Amino acid sequence: MIKSLKKTFAALCCLSLFAGISAQSKTDIPTIHVDKNGVMRWSDTNNEASFYGVNYTLPFAHAYRAMNYLGKDHKAAIDKDVYHFARLGFNAYRIHIWDVEISDGKGQLLTNDHLDLLDYLISKLRERNIRVLITTMTNFGNGYPERNINTGAFSYLYDKCKVHSTPEAIAAQQNYIGQLVQHVNPYTKESYKDDPYIVGFEINNEPCHADTPKQTEEYINQMLSALKKAGNKKPVFYNVSHNSGHVQAYYNTAVQGTTYQWYPVGLVAGHTRKGNFLPFVDNYDIPFSNAKGFNNKAKAVYEYDPADNMYSYIHPAMARTFRSNGFQWITQFAYDPIDMAWANTEYQTHFLNLAYTPQKAISMKIAAEVAYAVPMNKKYAQYPNDTIFDNFRVSYNNDLSEMNTPEKFFYSNQTTTSPVSVNDLKEIAGYNDSPIISYEGTGAYFLDRLEDGLWRLEVMPDAVQIQDPFEKPSLKKEVVTIAWNEWNMTVKLPSLGNDFTVKAINAGNNIQSTAKGNSFAVKPGVYLLSRSDYTPAQNWTANSQWNRIRLGEYVAPEARTNTFSVAHTPATIIENGKPLQIEAQIVGPSFPDSVIIYTDKVSFWADKNPYVKMNRVKGYTYQAVIPVDMLWGSAVNYNIIVCKGGKNYTYPANVEGNPLDWDFYKNSYFSTQVVAPESPVQLVKITDSYSRIETYGIPETSYMTSQLDDSDLKGSKALVFKSHKKDTDARFFWKKYIKDDVANRKEALQKAQAIYVNLNGTHNIDNLNVGFITSDGLSYSAKIAVGADSKTYRIPLADLKQGATTLLPAPYPTFLDRYFTPDTGIPFDITKIESIELSTDQTNKNEITLELNNIYLK
């Protein structure tokens, strides 16, 4: 009964919340068609269309089940996330439907909770004027990251690579796809095929065509026939970035659009990737662009993501590259539902949510503007000369993306850029400080001018990363926590002046104040900022409609900081005789009374134990310096102790208590190695644990495995790498991110003259390329001849030459270039090194072996 009432209420809201949009007759709503040149155009103006948005999978699979595990209301969750889609300026949504959850073995469409939630989601997107591209089938299970649940649907009955050529499977798909497009959405009262907000249909997600190209062509035609029989007149898309041998078969069919994906830095690293990836996203060359019919099909990006990183500089660069190559539909994969984003369990390798990844979300908002502003096929200079383009800027060094026009000013991180016309600004979105906004919190904020003298301010709560979000996922593990705190904000806008009024309008927020000059205290919520002499032109209230939102709408997760968390990565190395800089993010249910550092030299029995106090410098960032007189020995081991209300909490053990308590027993330490200033700069040292060396083969069907060899009587260890080749002329690479290892060796770096590579031996390797990748994302290397015997090879830094940057890990789709060759020469700078890389030339030898001992600079 309660569930029925909730559904009735949701339906009423759907009909009333945005009556202006809903009241439009179907003939008044512009639709999309594809012209003879493969361009998607609007039906009313015939102008080129451009879409940008996300994938979002809450009605299905793990996201659906996780909502159940957490006791969350699915429709309430959809309402919250769709509001944020609108807040970020998205106009596109794509989903690959888990057919296994809405069909049976014969392809009969099942009316169930999954389909109802999809219908509800589509209706809510429609209210926000967000268009939809539906991929009708995934043809795989519904488990990831859990185990599959066999529902008996047709995709469970047939192998994914045979589902397109088995007659019974094809019949089930025809039955299913016809019923799906004819399905009437009870919330919109329109079938999928007739809903003007559904742009079109992609037949299936990432098909595996293991049979002949002729069978592929026949399969697509059979699906097109089923759609036509069902009455579909919308554009139909097909994936052409898989199964390279079948490309012409795709273009021989009458599909009107083609789909692609892009994962430029691979997937599922299991940890956060670091580095300058702008060379990775500089181009998207399609090698089959000369195929017959290529120019007659529209191009859509069904999925893309710079996976496994938290950077905010990449998305606008990727959007620019897509537009330069004629793409009109761009949807990231995938947006995390707000009610489970704290754990990032849905897709371990992806992480995006406005509340939990505010900087990435703002960069997505900027990327959306890139998609709308950059004309199709407009070309730009090659990186690094394209980091400033049109009204946009991206910066790896500042982890910043930025949009700056007379009316819009968006930035994903602290910026010193001034708005081009502060008097004309109508919309601001940001994170951290800019010349016109100062804010200490760690959430995103939005300011929108409603009329002269009146602005709407929306402030998100603070997001603080406390664990690596790309490690193994679990709903028992929080990776980003949310804190609600009051911070001071400064807003310098001529249209507001000084001493403006601040009035909260979101539910439960009663703040009302007057700015002191242009500064005021603010907590998460929505506010109207009014100039002191402002006279309203209309009656603005929390229920006033404005663009795609109500003024008083506000969506944010509750505070999750029930306990203290300390996020800290210790320095790898410090030189003897120099102090150690410490920085940590510390967040909890309140601010600590104090935070101190003890080294492992303290003792319960001592009358006086030295300690260092950490000071909060901004937000949740605490810093301290351990002085030289507290550093001795080969390593400095230390604890961070958070003190609050007479209680102590010690980290990294994360236990209540203090190392000086008589019964404190569960201790562990943050540790930094101490070395002599004149010692070599160690880049790679093989240990019993983990050397952090990644290996790659090109092509990827060839790869390497490693095994520790500690048989040396002197205690020296080596990693023995062996190739496994499935291709002739394969290349092999060894790569390690070393920026953190050399951060405290600046003087030693500048004095270094050569790289030293200690090999215990090689087999079937004649030459080895040795060098670095810098913060510019560019590669510098030298070639050396190597032999089978143990030897230390010296490579003068003066011999390093700029060359092509190998794009490692492999990008998807696999047809993309594996090398970036710059056309701008930049001299090698030892202070910019971020990764070391070794590689072989192409070799047709059956097996190669490399025994690596260590690598250092001296």
Please report whether residue 5 resides in a domain: no
For 80, the enclosing helix (H) or strand (E) is helix 74-87
Task: Read off the pLDDT of each residue in 562-575 and give the average, rounded to a whole number.
Answer: 96
What phi and psi values does residue 409 have, to the nearest 5 degrees? -140, 105
How confident is the model at residue 258, as a pLDDT?
98
Task: Read off the pLDDT of each residue in 851-855 and give the average, rounded to a whole number.
Answer: 94
Question: Looking at the predicted structure, is the pLDDT value of residue 22 above 60?
Answer: no
Q: How many CA atoms lie less than 13 Å away from 678 in the CB half-sphere?
A: 0
How confident is the model at residue 716, as a pLDDT?
78
* Residue 329, both tokens: 């539909």
Query: Does residue 629 share a domain with residue 581?
Result: yes
Cβ neighbours for 419, distance < 8 A, ≥ 6 positions apart: 404, 409, 425, 435, 436
Does 384 sit behind a cis peptide bond, omega within 30 degrees of 0 on the bond before it?
yes
Q: Using CA atoms, how far apart are residues 459 and 665, in angstroms rounded to an integer? A: 43
How confident is the model at residue 1, as a pLDDT?
37
Question: Looking at the predicted structure, is the pLDDT value of residue 590 above 60?
Answer: yes
Rg over alpha carbons for the chain, rounded to the nearest Å, is: 29
Domain that holds residue 64: 22-389
Query: Under a CB-based contact definition with an 8 Å cutoff, are residues 60 and 97 in contact?
Result: yes
Query: Does residue 584 share a domain with residue 450?
Result: no
Query: Does residue 593 share a domain with residue 544?
Result: no
Please report whether residue 11 resides in a domain: no
Question: Looking at the predicted structure, is the pLDDT value of residue 27 above 80?
Answer: no
Please report whether residue 409 resides in a domain: no
The DSSP bridge partners found for residue 566 are: 586
* Residue 664, both tokens: 């404190």
Please report whether residue 115 resides in a domain: yes
Residue 109: Cβ within 10 Å count: 18
Exposed / middle / buried, residue 664 (Cβ in 10 Å: 0-12, 13-18, 19+): middle
The DSSP bridge partners found for residue 445 are: 430, 459
Beta strand segments in 195-311, E: 198-202, 236-239, 257-262, 298-304
How confident is the model at residue 4, as a pLDDT?
39
Q: How many CA atoms lie less than 13 Å away from 844 in the CB half-sphere?
A: 1
Reported as a single tens digit per residue, the pLDDT across 308-342 is 999 999 999 999 999 999 999 999 999 999 999 99
Please report whether residue 13 resides in a domain: no
Cβ neighbours for 467, distance < 8 A, ≥ 6 positions apart: 477, 478, 479, 567
Give the burial string for 706-715 (b: 16+ CB within 10 Å, else e). Answer: beebeeeeee
Place of tokens 């770096």: 749
Amino acid identity, residue 626? Answer: I
How confident is the model at residue 846, as a pLDDT?
83
Query: Does residue 660 share a domain with residue 778?
Result: no
Q: Using CA atoms, how far apart are residues 604 and 589, in angstroms rounded to an integer? A: 29
Average pLDDT score, the chain: 94
Q: Using CA atoms, how far apart are residues 640 and 568, in angstroms rounded to an integer? A: 9
Length of the chain: 858
Query: Does residue 660 share a domain with residue 691?
Result: no
Place of tokens 């590259």: 321
Q: Using CA atoms, how far apart are residues 481 and 588, in angstroms rounded to an integer? A: 9
Nearest to 54 by CA among 415, 290, 341: 341
Place of tokens 């898309």: 237
Exposed / middle / buried, residue 699 (Cβ in 10 Å: 0-12, 13-18, 19+): middle
Number of domains in the chain: 4
Nearest to 462 by CA among 489, 427, 435: 489
Residue 41: Cβ within 10 Å count: 19
Query: Does residue 33 share a domain with residue 105?
Result: yes
Exposed / middle / buried, residue 157 (Cβ in 10 Å: 0-12, 13-18, 19+): middle
Query: Does residue 29 share a domain with residue 52?
Result: yes
Query: Does residue 39 share a domain with residue 170?
Result: yes
Please say which residue of 550, 580, 600 terminates a domain.
550
How confident is the model at residue 728, as a pLDDT?
77
Q: How many CA atoms lie less than 13 Å away from 526 in the CB half-sphere?
A: 18
How confident is the model at residue 12, as a pLDDT?
36
Please report whether residue 758 resides in a domain: yes
Task: Read off the pLDDT of each residue in 722-750 and give the average, rounded to a whole number.
Answer: 94
Q: What are the distances in angstroms from CA 185 to CA 30, 122, 828?
A: 19, 9, 60
Task: Read off the pLDDT of each residue in 112-129 and give the average, rounded to a whole number.
Answer: 98
Q: Using CA atoms, how far apart are residues 497 and 454, in angstroms rounded to an integer? A: 11
DSSP-assigned letter for residue 103: B
CATH of the domain at 758: 2.60.120.430
Nearest to 659 by CA among 600, 607, 703, 704: 600
Rounded percentage of the chain residues whose pLDDT exceeds 90:
91
Residue 290: Cβ within 10 Å count: 8
The band of 687, judged by pLDDT with boundaries at 50, 70 and 90, is: confident
How confident is the model at residue 285, as a pLDDT?
96
Query: Does residue 692 share a domain with residue 657?
Result: no
Query: Does residue 52 share a domain with residue 35?
Result: yes
Beta strand segments in 257-312, E: 257-262, 298-304
Please report whether residue 10 resides in a domain: no
Query: Does residue 758 share a domain with residue 671?
Result: no
Q: Using CA atoms, how far apart are residues 412 and 310, in angstroms rounded to an integer? A: 12
Amino acid identity, residue 30? Answer: P
Higher pLDDT, 718 or 623: 623
The DSSP bridge partners found for residue 585 are: 567, 621
Q: Using CA atoms, how far apart are residues 699 and 544, in angstroms rounded to an integer? A: 57
Report helix, strand or coil for 628. Answer: helix
Please report whether residue 9 resides in a domain: no
DSSP-assigned letter for residue 463: E
Q: Using CA atoms, how far apart are residues 676 and 669, in angstroms rounded to an integer? A: 22
Query: Does residue 804 share a domain with residue 657?
Result: no
Reported as a single tens digit per residue, the pLDDT across 260-304 is 999 999 999 999 999 999 999 999 999 999 999 999 999 999 999
Q: Using CA atoms, how far apart are residues 372 and 47, in angstroms rounded to an integer? A: 12
Reported as a single tens digit per residue, the pLDDT across 177-222 is 999 999 999 999 999 999 999 999 999 999 999 999 999 999 999 9
* Residue 178, both tokens: 């016809």
Please say which residue of 611, 646, 675 terminates a domain.
675
Q: Using CA atoms, how far apart are residues 829 and 749, in angstroms rounded to an integer? A: 10
pTM for the complete prediction? 0.95
* Residue 832, both tokens: 């910019």
Please say which residue of 323, 357, 389 terminates a domain.
389
Place of tokens 């007479």: 646
